[in-house]
Chains A and B, each alone.
Chain A
Amino acid sequence: SYVLTQPPSVSVAPGQSARMTCGGNNIGGKSVHWYQQRPGQAPVLVVFDDTDRPSGIPERFSGSNSGNTATLTISRVEAGDEADYYCQVWDTRSDHVIFGGGTKLTV
């Protein structure tokens, strides 16, 4: 089955940029979605279809997707961005939703 690989953790200083990757075989051919999950809370969609942001999500959140890697970038990181981030795709071969293992962002 399709596998998405995320680094377990990323650390960044406030005000800097955080880049979190999501690796998968030819993931550039799929639509990738990203979720933020703060401790004790439900996930929140922050980027969908590789690069789009839902209403209410700051422009500091951006996404890209090419080849075998999708990337979520958070510019000018704030303390409130500290959370777990998950990438997700729909695998058309298995008709399954696939989540990456998640990346813990520490600010």
Chain B
Amino acid sequence: QVQLVESGGGVVQPGKSLTLSCAASGFTFSSYGIHWVRQAPGKGLEWVALIWYDGSNYYYADSVKGRFTVSRDNSKKTSHLQMNSLRAGDTAVYYCAREGDSSGRADYWGQGTLVTVSS
């Protein structure tokens, strides 16, 4: 069965960096794009980034562009989200999700990892 497992969350000081990982299993990882989506406490879903199945293209929300970098290693079936210059407003549960097709839908989601930016 399709499974996505995020890791790497924790408490980090403002201005610091953190890298999240998303480990995939149960499907041909190299054939699917990966979304990163976050949810601040008590708030709605906010899309963060998308990386294509082969890593050749990536897109970012305006709120994170220039600070976050999405990558993937198809040989390890893993995607990473490197987050730099973190701010209090980046505090959220971060989910990775499989992109179902080019219409942008996310058909399978991980359980998320919590990132807290606080001094």
Residues of A within 8 A of B (CB): 1, 31, 33, 35, 37, 41-45, 48-49, 54, 84, 86, 88-90, 95-102
A42 touches B45 (CB 8 A): no
Q: Which 7 A-B pairs have the closest CB atoms?
A: A90-B104, A97-B47, A31-B103, A33-B105, A42-B109, A102-B44, A99-B45
A86 and B35 alpha carbons, distance in the complex (Å): 16
B59 touches A99 (CB 8 A): no
A102 and B108 alpha carbons, distance in the complex (Å): 19
A86 touches B103 (CB 8 A): no
Question: What bracket does the count of chain B residues touching chain A fall in?
Answer: 20 to 34
B104 cross-chain contacts in A, Cβ below 8 A? 31, 33, 88-90, 97
A49 touches B103 (CB 8 A): yes
Contact sample, A vs B, 28 pairs, CB 8 Å cutoff: A1-B62, A31-B105, A33-B104, A35-B106, A37-B45, A41-B111, A42-B110, A42-B111, A43-B95, A43-B106, A45-B105, A48-B107, A54-B107, A84-B44, A86-B45, A88-B104, A89-B104, A90-B102, A90-B103, A95-B59, A96-B59, A96-B62, A97-B35, A97-B37, A97-B47, A97-B104, A98-B47, A99-B47
Cβ contact of B46, chosen from A37, A90, A99, cutoff 8 A = A99
Say whether B50 faces chain A, with CB atoms less than 8 Å apart: yes
A-B Cβ contacts below 8 A, count? 67
Q: Is the interface of B mostly helix, strand, loop or mixed?
A: strand
A45 cross-chain contacts in B, Cβ below 8 A? 100, 105-108
Say whether B11 faces chain A, with CB atoms less than 8 Å apart: no
CB distance from B34 to the nearest CB of A (A): 12
Q: Is the interface of A mostly helix, strand, loop or mixed?
A: strand
Smallest Cβ-Cβ distance to A43: which chain B residue: B109
A15 and B91 alpha carbons, distance in the complex (Å): 38
CB distance from B88 to the nearest CB of A (A): 21
